Structure formats: C-alpha cells, structure tokens
Structure 1
C-alpha cells in the first residue's frame, strides 16, 4: 500500500498507518465493520479508526483514481475490456448516515432504510475490479440543505442526480482519467435511459445495456408522420408519430423459430463452458425526447437454469458487420463479474 501514502495526509497530519490497519482488517474480518476489525487485530484503537473513517480529511478520489489506472494497466489486452455499471445498497438503522432513506436496496431485494451507491468496475475475462463509486442522494436529502450541511456533504455535491446521471459521471471521469475500456454495460435501469446510451456513444464507446421486457421496438424503420384525424370528435393530431406498428421485445421472441437462435460458448466456468442461445436483430426505437428514430442491435439471450428458462434482452450499438456474435455475447455476459465484486 505504500504507493498510496500520499493520499492519506493533509498539511498537518498523516493517516497512512490507520489506512493500513483498516485495509488489513477488511481482509481479515468476516464481518467488516470497525468494531470487528479492531477486535480481529487486537492492537487497533477503535476510536482512532472511527475518526479516520468519519472525520479525517484524506483524498478518497485520489485513491480510487490511482487504483483505476493501475487496474487498467495490468488487465490483459487479448480480451475486450468492459466498464459495467451497477449499484449496491447497505441497510442502515438510523437516518444520520449520508444518503440513508427508504429506497430499494438490492442487497436485501426490497425497499429498506439504506444507502445506495452507483459503482463502476473494469472487467476483462475472469478479471474484475471496482474502480469508481458515487453515493446516490435521494431528494429528501438534496432538498434539505441543513441536513446536508450537518452531515458534512460538500455544497457542490448537494444537487440531486439520478442514478443514470451518476453512471455517466463515472463513465466520463474514467474516460478523462485515461482508463482503457471498450464498452459500457448496465442493467435495465440504465439501459432504459436512451440519453445515457447516446452519451456513451458520443464519447466513442460501445454500450451493452440490458432493457426491460416491455421495451417496444420497430422491426422496420418507420417514418415520423402526423397521423390523419379519425372521426369528427376531438382535436386534429399535430404531433408526428411512427407510421409502423411496434412490438414488445418479449412478444417478438415468442415468435422466433429454433433456427433463429445461435448457441454460443460464452466463457469457461468451473464446470466447463457456459453456453446460451442468442438471437441478434437490427431494430429501431422512437426517441421521443429528440423527436427521431434511432437504430439499435437487439440481443436476446436464452439460458436454461434450475428455475427454468431465463431470458435477457439488451440494446447495443455494436454491429454484426464489425464484431463476431461471440464477442457481442461476451459483452452481454460481463455484468456477472461486477456483481461478484459487490457480493
């Protein structure tokens, strides 16, 4: 850890010894809270570590950035590197912890009093490491300036940001930092945000974003036209709409024949190759905010599990002309590793 010593000091104090003890305790303790960490090591003062975590001013962003760059440099170049985005939640008993509130907590699978953090990881083959994190502040925090000030939140961080907005901050920051990655991944929360996908593409990256099963698509490129008025009642239509019928992605896959699926070996596991069936099709979506039609490659994965058949739907800007089906399937499967970083 000596390479990180510069980030654990300010003009008057140094905290590196506390950082070493805390980090060591995380690896040694089964329950990773300060009390258990101090018990496990014996010679660690509880109040010193508590003060180090809660009150000491050290450069957390500098630590994360250095870890991100070092991770980026050591990942093998033979595989595509992803930057999967996900979130993690921690249950809390009180309301004093920054960002704590009643919200969905993925760790417990329900709404709970919790903190939620949006995270980014670098993923390459079997290698994965967290490289960035942004705490989500619910509106009952950002709309209460006194509460934010009492909790010590910097004023520039008190504005409300959605989780997709925090995700884009992570992506843009890693891009500006010089971290190397080829694509960005995310679950349906991020995949259903059309503008996030367009921003990622604007930075020059591929994206592979999961979408919800009720996402509607057009199998043929529609034109936007003002529809003719039907009947004599009501106002005359004045907003353009697609002139072709849309279909939900889950309804689309129900009509696929067996020969429209391709079985692909995604990666090796302890039990051999992980295989799944994939379907790829170019589709179009209506971006109502921009008033235009946009292309996407729809990737559908069908995988048999102990609970039955699992279906996953994703949008990507990768094309079958540039990438093999196996490479696209690999990108869709990489979220598995960021989840292992968290749990």
Structure 2
C-alpha cells in the first residue's frame, strides 16, 4: 500500500494489525481505501462519492469489499476490540451499552421499520443498532454495533433472506440479549473495563440485569420510576397458619416512592463550558423486586443493590439501579450514572464526521461492515488525539502520561441530553484536568491526515 505523507504514514502503521487478519491481498488493498474515504473530506460517505474523491474509476470494487458475504469480518472486530483496549481499556473504564438509530427511506434496507429514532426524537422509519462503547474519562471508542431486527422482520424469513440475514440472526431477540452476546465477545477479546452502564431501555429488563450479575460484572443502569423494590431488611417468612412457600414480610414499593422521603444532595460531576454540571441525587440500599412471581404479579426480592434518584434542574427525575459496593459514596454513584452520556458523543461523531448512516446498500453484511469500518476510523482518530496530547504533555514537561485524556469531540448534542460526565475530582482522577475540546479537524495530526487523501 502506498504511504501517505505525514499522518497517512501513521495510518499505515496503525492499520497493520487489521490488515494482518484480512487474508487476501485484494482485501488488504481495499480496506485502507475505504477507511480513507470515511476519514477524508466530503459531506457524504456513501460509496459513489467516496470513490470519486479517492480518484477511482467506479465504486464496484468498494461495493464488493464492503458487502461481500464471502469473507468473515469477525477477526477485524476482534482487532478493533484489542486496539480500543490499548487506547482506553483499564479497570477504571466504562463499557456503555446503548442503541442508536439510522433514519432510512423505503422498506427494503435490512431491519428498517417505523420505530423510535433518537436522532429525530420521534417514531420514524429507521434501523436500530445496539451499540457498545468503551470509554475512559471522556474518550469513547465504539467497539460494537449490531442491528436489532424487529418482529416484523424475524416473522418474514423470505424478507430476511433477501437482505442476507444469517440464519442464526432470524430469531427475534431483545436488545438486551444482543448486548450480552456482544459483551461476551468483548470479554473473550480481553477488553478491560470496570463498570457496565446502560439506560432504562436495557435496565428495565430483569433478564439483562441478571445477565450482567451472572457474569460477575459491576453495573449501573436506568430503570422506570415504577420499578418495584423492597427495603434491604426484607425477609422471607412462612404465611401465618398455612404451609405455603415463603413470602416477603413487606409489600414492594415503587422506586420513586422509596426515594421521595430520602435526603437529596446536590452533586457536581464535572465543570462544563458554561459552569458546573450538577443535579440533586438520593440513594438507598434496597432489594430489587425481580425474583420469582409470588402472587398478584408481585415478584420476590432479588439481590441487594443501590437505588439512586437524579433530580434535574428542570424538575425531571430519573431512577437507576447499581450493584456497586454498599460503601460506594453518593458522589461516585452519581459519577457512574452520568458517565453513560459519553456514548452520545461517539454516536454523533460516527454519524456526522464518519458517515455511519450514509450506507445505501440493503444487506445485513454491508450495513455491519460499513459500521465496522466507521468504528475503525473512529478509533484511529482517538489514537491521533491521544498521541497529540502525549506530545503536548512532554513539551510542557508535565511528566509521564497518566492515561487517556478527555479528548472526545464535543459533537453537537441532542437538546434532551446533558453533557457527558467524568468521575468526581474528589478521587483525584488524573484525566479530569485534561483538555476536552479537540475536534476531528482541529487536531494538527488529524488535519494532516484529512488533507492528505
């Protein structure tokens, strides 16, 4: 492959482990070109515009590379996981589980159906992808994107076959199931993280929470306000005068009612560009009502956990569960909860800068491979930012690099979300003092790369 001056040569070196698992020479040629198309200038990152900007005679070979089911891209996903771990993996990292929607026209693209689209803030025709993002501080690296197939698709095998959906994926699966499988894949690749974070779309599922628990993971997830919980002191007793199964000695209560009488404390989780980002929080130790059903659709107490409430400045209240240790301070619980928003930055940059939603093919393979290449391009940009930051630190004689910096681009945020969070400064997190506003094109090295294509 021809080296590109400056940042391009660095891209060649960085891609070496990816190219090593691609096998055939043709794939080792077209993969870097596709990445250059994503990283290069231009508003549209679909095949024809990229091919034109790359000076190709047509887009057929790019199309064949990205959509051909004749080769297995699982090794590339594994290398991406390993490279992400090198960038931000550690016991202090978050693994954020969420989903992101890609608006689409028509009905033929795989998985397209009218469903909630966060990008548009309403129900719309779109594809919904389950995403997993490894993050430390404010440095996210997407490591998994898998399409959720609605029931209307899995109930229509012919439609799935026309879109190239593998037989194993034609069974209806909840987003939480998909996320757990992806989590297992990352664990097998050796990705290091300390806590799994997810919103109420996942946290409302007892099966999902129990899946995390069974894997021995720490987690903090959103829940609906009416989630039933018991006090931590609940006991199972025999009903008086009758020989029946043991039942709780108290009735379960809704999460919002349990926290209503608690003391709420103002917690600042980080300093934003317009001042402190803060909300009021309350927490209580409880046992979740997610065990077996024992009567009138009531569930037995499950594991002990933290119930956390967030009272935002606009008056909105949100609720969360976490299995973080019983001695975890409220400030650390709040930091974990707010850490989830970093994935929103990754989603927006994937779409706005790297064309995640620009793929115009209809196939399962093409969509997932385009998503994979977008994630690899994103990881490369994070590599550039971190390298630039290390050079800056050395130039200022700041001592050895303490780890990933808060270098994620402050992509344009949806109005309904607050800014991403980092851990509290009380814990002297070395990442908290690092710069937060370096965009894709403001990093000197990234600019060299983008202008070299």
Q: TM-score when scaled to structure 2?
A: 0.65
Of 11, 17, 20, 1:3 maps to: 17
Give the count of matched residue pairs: 327
- Distance change >3 Å, CA 289–CA 22, structure 1 → 2: farther
Q: Per-residue CA shift, 1:122-178, capped at 9, x if unaligned?
A: 011111110112211122222222222222222222222111101111122212221
The answer (yes or no) to whether the contact 1:278–1:301 under 8 Å persists in 2 is: yes
Stretches of structure 1 lacking an aligned partner (at least 5 in a row): 230-235
Within-5 A mapping of 1:231-310:
242-256=248-262, 260-289=263-292, 292-294=300-302, 295-304=304-313, 308-310=314-316
The answer (yes or no) to whether the contact 1:8–1:16 under 8 Å persists in 2 is: yes
Q: Per-residue CA shift, 1:50-100, capped at 9, x if unaligned?
A: 2322226343322222111111123275x7211110001112222222222
Counterpart Cα distance in 2 of 1:83 and 1:8: 27
Once the two structures are TM-superposed, the CA of residue 207 in structure 1 deviates from its matched residue by 0.7
Secondary structure of 1:16's partner?
Answer: helix
Counterpart Cα distance in 1 of 2:203 and 2:168: 28
Q: Which protein, 1 or 2, shows the higher relative CO under an 8 Å CA cutoff with sep ≥ 6?
A: 2
Query: Where is the helix percentage greater, Structure 1 or Structure 2?
Result: 2
Match of 1:134? 146
Match of 1:59? 72
Of 322, 330, 335, 2:335 maps to: 330
The answer (yes or no) to whether the contact 2:198–2:220 under 8 Å persists in 1 is: yes
Q: Does 1:209 align with 2:209?
A: no
Q: Per-residue CA shift, 1:168-212, capped at 9, x if unaligned?
A: 111222122211011111111111111221221221210100011
Counterpart Cα distance in 2 of 1:127 and 1:94: 35
Within-5 A mapping of 1:63-102:
63-75=76-88, 77=90, 80-102=92-114
The answer (yes or no) to whether the contact 1:91–1:105 under 8 Å persists in 2 is: yes
Q: Supply the RMSD in Å over aligned alpha carbons.
A: 2.7
Q: Does 1:33 align with 2:41?
A: no
Stretches of structure 2 lacking an aligned partner (at least 5 in a row): 1-14, 294-298, 349-453
Of 133, 137, 140, 1:121 maps to: 133
Counterpart Cα distance in 2 of 1:141 and 1:239: 42
Counterpart Cα distance in 1 of 2:114 and 2:245: 39
Once the two structures are TM-superposed, the CA of residue 220 in structure 1 deviates from its matched residue by 5.1
Within-5 A mapping of 1:146-157:
146-157=158-169
Query: Where is the strand percentage greater, Structure 1 or Structure 2?
Result: 1
Deviates more, 1:309-318 or 1:214-223: 214-223
Counterpart Cα distance in 1 of 2:162 and 2:240: 58
Once the two structures are TM-superposed, the CA of residue 224 in structure 1 deviates from its matched residue by 4.8
Of 149, 153, 173, 2:185 maps to: 173
Counterpart Cα distance in 2 of 1:325 and 1:57: 52
- Distance change >3 Å, CA 83–CA 179, structure 1 → 2: same
